[in-house]
Structure formats: structure tokens, C-alpha cells
Copies of this chain bind each other. A is one copy, B any other.
Amino acid sequence: MKKIVNDPESVVQDMLDGLISAHPDSLQLLPETTVVVRKDAPITNKVSIVSGGGSGHEPAHAGYIGDGMLDAAVCGEMFTSPTPDQVFESIKAVDGGAGVFLVIKNYTGDVMNFEMAAELAEAEGIQVEKVIVNDDVAVEDSSFTTGRRGIAGTIFVHKIAGAKAAAGGSIEEVKSVAEKVVANVRSMGMALTPCTVPAAGKPSFTLEENEMEIGTGIHGEPGIERKPIASASAIAEELTDKILEDIKFNSGDDVAVMINGMGATPEMELYILNKKVNQMLTDRGLTIHKTFVGDYMTSLEMAGCSITLLKLDDELKTLLDAESSAPAFRI
């Protein structure tokens, strides 16, 4: 394990201390928690947006705190959903009277912990609504399973729900536009190498020197297929095709694209992927409204990528383009 850490048991706390000291004017850590909250919270009469999950996906989620995006990020232990009391603290800290909206990635632990926190908050008279993001088409979506996972598409939910709230939207309006994003966003990822949780000390899986895995989750959950490393174009094609099988795009549709790095993939490779994705979408007659290339939802030092497509209507376009001061998603 080659890592720049101190005590593997305290990586989350150390990271958060370093984060706050890098952004002392905009971020604060709630005392005795791992909850990062915008410094000027609560904002009276604005719906507040809270997200979070296990740590190890940086800049998700604390990097998305800012005007027009999140009000708080609840940071769990490494790859471990945060506990209800922490989520509850975040809700109390950001509630400005207009209610708190939770963006939850579809993992059993996240859903349970956030729901328990919502129950605690409602018991104290705070209005809470939520959306569950499930954009990962690598996983089958059926009523007999836990359904698709939430991965990089979550960033678009943060952005658009955040913009709606910043524009004065009610909690119902925020919920409704967030659900629209979830209905229209799909992602799929792949890995070239695994990653190592510091306290575990060894990689979550192994891949041969010439192997890649298609469909790997952002916590190193096994994917759907292992095979020899293909070219960037073939990878772009496989991931994009799988997304396009799942959600119908028509010629003329507007789309936002995210080419996300899993942590150790050079930006160069992400742009090489984007070349192909861009060609594929353009060939289908789609209008690419905006493209985001970078590390948005990572898996520690995993090498690999995910591709996300979001189908846009006029409302989503306006909200996606709205200003955001979040360090990891400045618009």
C-alpha cells in the first residue's frame, strides 16, 4: 500500500481538517462530527441540499458545497455510509426553514442511514424530502434486487437541485426537478486497477496486467465482465452503448456529458475517451450542451473511468448552466 497518510484509522478526520484549512472562508466542520457545512449556513428560506456517503470519492461530496449546489456533505468512514446521527446533525445545521433535501446514492447503507436521519429530523419538525440516485447501468434494475447503484450522475443531481433551491424553488419543486434528473441520467464505469482502503491495507480485488473490468462500482464492487484491455475508443463505445441501450435518445436531443476519472487516470486519457464519446453522440444527431471531463466521483487511487449522459430539457439546461461557487464544480 503506497499512500501519503498518517494513521490509517484517522484518514477521514485528517482529510477534513486539511479541507477546512484550505477553505476557511467558505467551509466549516460541525464540532465532533465529520459533517462539512457551508460557513454561512443556514440560509433563511432557502431549501438546503445535503448529500454525503462514504469517504474515498473525493471531491465528492464536500467539494460540491457552495452557492448553487450543496449546503452540507456528510462524510462517512472510508467507503462506509455515514451514521444517522451525523446526517441528522447536518440537517439541523442547514435548515433555514424551507426544508432540507437529501440526495442519496442508491446503496442499502446510505438509504437506511439517511432515512433514519430523516425520521429523526421530521420528529423535530424539520421538513425533509429526498431523492435516490441510481444511474449505474452496470447493475440490473429490477424489483427483485436493490436496483442500480448511484455513481457519477449524482453530481448532476447536486448541481440541478442546488440551482433550483438557489433560485428560490420550494422543496417540492426541488424534489421534482431532482427526480427528473434521476429519470434522465445514466452512467457506466470500468476499472484498470483496484484501490486500497487504508485501514484494509490491501486492494479490494486484483486484475491481471493486461486485464480490465467493465462495470466496476465506485467502492470496488465487482463489475460485469473482465477482459483484455481494449483501446480507448472501444472502451468509450462499450460504455456509451450500454447507456444508450438503457435510455432512449432521439436525434436532436440535448445531452450533458461527464467523463469521470476514478482517481489515478491521467486527464489525458479522459480527453482521449471524450473524443470518441463526442463523435458517437454527434453521429447520432445529439446536441452536446456541455461536457465535463475530470475527477468528479472517484474511488481512491483506482485507475479507470465512468461515462455519464444526462438528457436535458430547457429547465435542466438552465439549471445546469446556473452559477455555482463549489470548488469542484465552478460554473
Binding site for B on A (CB under 8 A): 2-6, 11, 14-19, 21-23, 55-56, 58-59, 63, 192-193, 209, 212, 229, 231-233, 235, 259, 263-276, 278-279, 288, 291-293, 295, 298, 300-301, 303, 305, 330
Contacts and interface: CB of A to CB of B under 8 A. Distances in A.
Given A291-B22, A301-B303, A229 B2 contact: yes
Point out which of A235, A269, A330 has the most chain B C-beta atoms below 10 A from its C-beta: A269
A18 B16 CA distance: 34
Nearest to A2: B192
Nearest to A330: B330
Contact of A295 (B15, B295, B303): B295
Nearest to A14: B272
Given A232-B14, A300-B266, A4 B273 contact: yes
A52 to B, nearest CB: 15
Contacts of A229: 2-3
A40 B5 CA distance: 44
Given A266-B298, A298-B266, A303-B301, A18 B271 contact: yes
Contacts of A269: 3-5
Point out which of A18, A59, A232, A292 has the most chain B C-beta atoms below 10 A from its C-beta: A18
Top 5 closest A-B pairs, CB basis? A18-B271, A18-B275, A264-B264, A18-B274, A58-B267
Contacts of A266: 56, 58, 263, 298, 300-301
A11 B272 contact: yes
